[in-house]
Chain A
Amino acid sequence: MSSPDPATDAPLLEIRNISKFFGSVIALKDISTTVRAGQVTCVLGDNGAGKSSFIKVLSGVHRPDEGELVLDGRPVAFDTPRHALDSGVATVYQDLAMIPLMAIWRNFFLGSEPTTGWGPFRRFDREKAKAVTRKELGDMGIDIRDPDQPVGTLSGGERQSVAIARAVHFGARLLILDEPTSALGVKQAGVVLRYIVQARDRGLGVIFITHNPHHAYPVGDRFVLLKRGRSLGDFAKSEVSIEEITRMMAGGAELEALTHELAGDPGARAVAAQLDEDVTALGLKQGG
């Protein structure tokens, strides 16, 4: 199904003809793609395309009704998010799974707290947690003022970065990022894209879920396009251009027409680009 890749090592994760039904609703039908270590696979689709269901199947929230996941060449069935995590598949959710009122270091280790002491005196190793948080964020090039500050006081981009650093620290080999750039401004989105590249360069496989081809194309190696639960194709970067991706996605044709219309003068081109951003951002908010 997928064409041979320049990176010929065995894929980290193969997704083979996954389907998921909720009663009579076909959420996903026959989705296939591959993720390799050190590569980014982008999953693109408009609202209602099935991106959320796809993530939930990959992260162990749902079991697929058809098809299989092959991790390191072996078929796997994730029963719980914990199981997926233990297998090295970490999901950074859109809502980040972070608690705004809690300090960064508490959030960083939430659910996997290091402990010290024994028996009834076993306790959360706070010093270690703070030190590791600082170091891991530093390694990702994230400059956090103070690990004691509540996550709620961080900007959207910083929060995404902390979530990514956390997944990397806990031994993720495959990172699933759910719309990490969708709620962010242009500059903040750029910051997050840089962390995606950094995670990739550290040898992680990344699945980057987004509805914005302009965010996906610069960092992606493979592109899966979803529409109404079905796959429009699974392409290597060499096989597809950003224009084709945009056109294939919902609303792509209309947007392109609008862009052409506005492309008459250079000033309007910037407006068109901004409009594109706005339309997608707005679309996300409506669709949840």
Chain B
Amino acid sequence: MTTVVGDRVVDERVARIGVLRRILLKPELGALIGVVIVFVFFAALSDVFRSASGVANWLDPASTLGIVAVAVALLMIGGEFDLSAGVMTGTSGLTTGLLSTYYGWNLWAAILVSLLLALAIGFGNGYLVVRTGLPSFIITLGSFLMLQGLNIGITKLVTDTVQVGAIEQTTGYRAAHAILASTVSIGGTRFQIAILWWVLVTAIGAWVLLRTRFGNWTFAIGGDTGAARNVGVPAARTKIALFMAVSAAAWFVGTVNAVRLTSVQANTGVGLELTFIVAAVIGGCLLTGGYGSVIGASLGALIFGMTSQGIVYAGWDADWFKFFLGAMLLLAVLANQFVRRYAEQSRR
């Protein structure tokens, strides 16, 4: 039955699970196919879409979405949602903006304080979810609405308007701009530096998920929190850390946008929370947790970026974008379900 080659035991039945099925079992497969289809589709419709400047253009929205989507995917694999992730980008940007412009802080100090605030809110979300056992959907819906109100309320109180501007006049802006919002020229085309950050965040996220203990725990608490706890996984700590990671990712993107645009609207980020979840689900994350992929979430963000810009390049009304996104989400979910069933069934 089994033969020993060196110190490796080789089972002849392993070979029966072919390479094809191994690939099909990857959660990010659906998103990868989606990326190819969407790219070919819009590249055929528009020359600009496939030109270097076109690529730079659609990579940009994909990058800021993808950075948060990676963290959201990790949290979803850990079995929870964070609806406050979108508005959190606004909260971070506004905090940084208000502290640096109206209170004259050094921009870096303001950025640091808004990071601490974001981590505290993430901790609060996670702590409440872990302690109460209530669905994170409800808890973070609460923090979403509260933050949305605070964003507008405090901005109005301090500035008498609904935006914070003139961030470019703060001390420390030049360095912040170079690190967070500059462009990198490749072959004469300017790419936003956020794209590099996105690639880095995706790589770290994928590494953490697949190669570390924390990643193993993330899968486990999403699959079955009670069982994970029984074998000694620090479930509460892992969950809280995941919520804090989402808040930190939202802080990062909020800061990038604030520095790039030099002003922040009080309603920034509202509605984005669902887009993050859509990207993660297109990337193969199960809504029930315990299964998914960081790289898939980034591919989901890429599909989002390509579609949003591709529709413009194709000369269509931008209103069609939402329809495409919804169709993509449905297709991805159906494809993932089909593929997973097929792969697991055939492994009996």
Residues of chain A with a CB closer than 8 A to B8's CB: 131
Contacts known (A96-B227, A134-B9); A109 close to B232, Cβ less than 8 A: no
Contacts known (A102-B219, A150-B344); A82 close to B227, Cβ less than 8 A: no
B73 to chain A, nearest CB (A): 15
Contacts known (A150-B344, A153-B347); A145 close to B13, Cβ less than 8 A: yes
Set A99, A126, A143, A144: member contacting B227, Cβ < 8 A: A99
Set A109, A112, A122, A153: member contacting B348, Cβ < 8 A: A153
CB <8 Å contact, A124 and B344:
no
Max chain A C-beta neighbours (<10 A), residue from B7, B11, B13, B217? B11
Residues of chain B with a CB closer than 8 A to A134's CB: 9
A95 within 8 A of B: yes
A150 to B229, CA, bound (A): 19
A145 to B231, CA, bound (A): 24
B62 to chain A, nearest CB (A): 27
A contact face: mostly helix, strand, loop, or mixed: loop
CB <8 Å contact, A102 and B290:
yes
A283 to B227, CA, bound (A): 24
Question: Which of the four size classes fits the interface of chain A?
Answer: 35 or more
Residues of chain A with a CB closer than 8 A to B226's CB: 95
A122 to B128, CA, bound (A): 30
Residues of chain B with a CB closer than 8 A to A101's CB: 219, 223, 290-291
Residues of chain B with a CB closer than 8 A to A109's CB: 216
CB <8 Å contact, A124 and B220:
no
A56 to chain B, nearest CB (A): 11
A134 to B213, CA, bound (A): 20
Residues of chain A with a CB closer than 8 A to B228's CB: 97, 99, 110-111
Contacting residues of chain B (217-247) with chain A, CB-CB under 8 angstroms: 217, 219-220, 223-224, 226-233
CB <8 Å contact, A110 and B220:
yes
Residues of chain A with a CB closer than 8 A to B7's CB: 131
Contacts known (A98-B227, A138-B2); A81 close to B213, Cβ less than 8 A: no
B330 to chain A, nearest CB (A): 22
B211 within 8 A of A: yes
Set A97, A100, A131, A144: member contacting B231, Cβ < 8 A: A97
A277 within 8 A of B: no
A46 to B7, CA, bound (A): 47
A122 to B208, CA, bound (A): 10
B10 to chain A, nearest CB (A): 10
CB <8 Å contact, B230 and A122:
no
CB <8 Å contact, A124 and B211:
yes
A100 to B289, CA, bound (A): 12
Set A93, A97, A124, A143: member contacting B212, Cβ < 8 A: A124
Set B14, B213, B223: member contacting A145, Cβ < 8 A: B14
A131 to B228, CA, bound (A): 22
Beta-carbon nearest neighbor of A155 in chain B? B348
B134 within 8 A of A: no
A230 to chain B, nearest CB (A): 27
CB <8 Å contact, B233 and A145:
no
Set B215, B219, B230: member contacting A93, Cβ < 8 A: B230
CB <8 Å contact, B213 and A115:
yes
Beta-carbon nearest neighbor of A107 in chain B? B220
A to B CB contacts below 8 Å, 23 in the list: A81-B229, A81-B232, A93-B227, A93-B230, A96-B227, A98-B224, A99-B223, A99-B290, A100-B223, A101-B291, A102-B290, A106-B216, A106-B219, A109-B216, A110-B220, A110-B228, A124-B211, A124-B216, A131-B8, A146-B11, A146-B14, A150-B347, A153-B348
